[in-house]
Amino acid sequence: MRAEQVTDPVAHHAEGPVWSPSWGGLRWVDMLAGDVLSFAPDGTVRRKHVGRVAAALRPRRGGGAVVAVERGFVLEDADGALTALDPVWSDPAVRMNEGGCDPDGRFWCGSMAYDQAPGAAALYRLDPDGSVTTVLEGVTVSNGLDWSPDGSLAYYDDTATHRVDVFDYDRDAGLTGRRPFVELPDDGNPDGLTVDADGGVWVALFGGGAVHRYTADGVLDVVVEVPAAQVTACTFGGPGLDQLFVTTSREGLAPGDDPLAGALFRADVGGAGRPVREFAG
C-alpha cells in the first residue's frame, strides 16, 4: 500500500509523531529547529519553539507534555508553560534523539552524537519525580522504542546496528534479555517504531522510503510505501486510532531533491494502534 501526503514539506527533520486526545490530535517535532508541530482541525500546522532541539514528546497524565530537548527534558503544563529540568549531560557534541513512555509512566529517551560517533550515546529514563537514570550505554543512534500491548516486551533500535531488538520489561528490573527481533540488510536503517493493538511492530526505514510491519514473531507482513526516502517515524492516530501517520526528513538533501521530503503522510492500513502511554510526572 502507499501513504498519501497530508501536509506540505513543513519540516526540515520531522520526527516522533504522537496522537493524544488530551492535546487535540497529532503532534510531532521538527527536531533540529527545536519546534513541536501540531496538526489543527482546519489542516494548518502550528509550531511551538521549545529549545535548540525538540527530539521527542509524550503527553503528561495531568495535561501538557514532556519533551526531550537537546541535553535533557522540558515539562509543558496544561496551560502551555514550559519548565526546563536540569541538563542530563554537558557535552555539546551529543543530543537527544527518540523515546517513549513505559507502562509505568516513565519517559525513556536515547541520544546520539551529532556526527554519529560509534558508542557515544546512551538511553536514559526520566522518572515522575524528575530523576534521570542511564539505562543503556555504548549506543550510536538511539532510536525507536515502544512496548508490547501487555507491557511485557520492549522493542528498540540503535540504527547503526541495522536491526530491531526486543527486551523483556519489568518495572523493577527494567529492560533485560536483549536479543535481535528483526535483522535488516546493511543498507537498512531502522528509525522510529510503534506497536499496534495486535502486537505488530511498525518500523520506519530511513533511506528506504517505507514503513514495515512485522508480526510478533518477526515476520514481515505489510509494507507501506512512502513517496519520500528519508522516513523517520510513525504512529497510529485518528478517532479510531486506525490511521498510520508517517514523518519524513529533508536533512542532508540538496534543494529540489526528493521534493516531498519533510511532509507528513498518512495511510489506512486495516489495523489499529493503542492509546499512547503517558508520562506520570
Domain that holds residue 88: 4-268
pLDDT confidence of residue 43: 81
Does residue 273 lie within any of the structural domains?
A: no
Task: Say how far apart CA 70 and CA 16 lie, in whole Å.
Answer: 15
Residues 6+ apart with CB under 8 A from 277: 58, 100, 101, 102, 103, 105, 147
pLDDT confidence of residue 132: 98
Tens of pLDDT, residue by residue, the chain (281 residues):
999 999 999 999 999 999 999 999 999 999 999 999 999 877 889 999 999 999 999 999 999 999 999 999 999 999 999 999 999 999 999 999 999 999 999 999 999 999 999 999 999 999 999 999 999 999 999 999 999 999 999 999 999 999 999 999 999 999 999 999 999 998 899 999 999 999 999 999 999 999 999 999 999 999 999 999 999 999 999 999 999 999 999 999 999 999 999 999 999 999 999 999 999 99
Does residue 62 lie within any of the structural domains?
A: yes
CA atoms 116, 121, 125, 129: torsion sign: negative
pLDDT confidence of residue 40: 81
Identified catalytic residue from 191, 196, 198, 221: 191
Does residue 19 lie within any of the structural domains?
A: yes
* Domain count within the chain: 1
Does residue 171 lie within any of the structural domains?
A: yes
Does residue 30 lie within any of the structural domains?
A: yes
pLDDT confidence of residue 41: 73
Find the CATH number of the domain harbouring 242.
2.120.10.30
pLDDT confidence of residue 95: 98
On whether the CB atoms of residues 55 and 90 are closer than 8 A, the answer is no
Let me know if 191 is a catalytic residue: yes
Does residue 170 lie within any of the structural domains?
A: yes
Does residue 147 lie within any of the structural domains?
A: yes
Does residue 202 lie within any of the structural domains?
A: yes
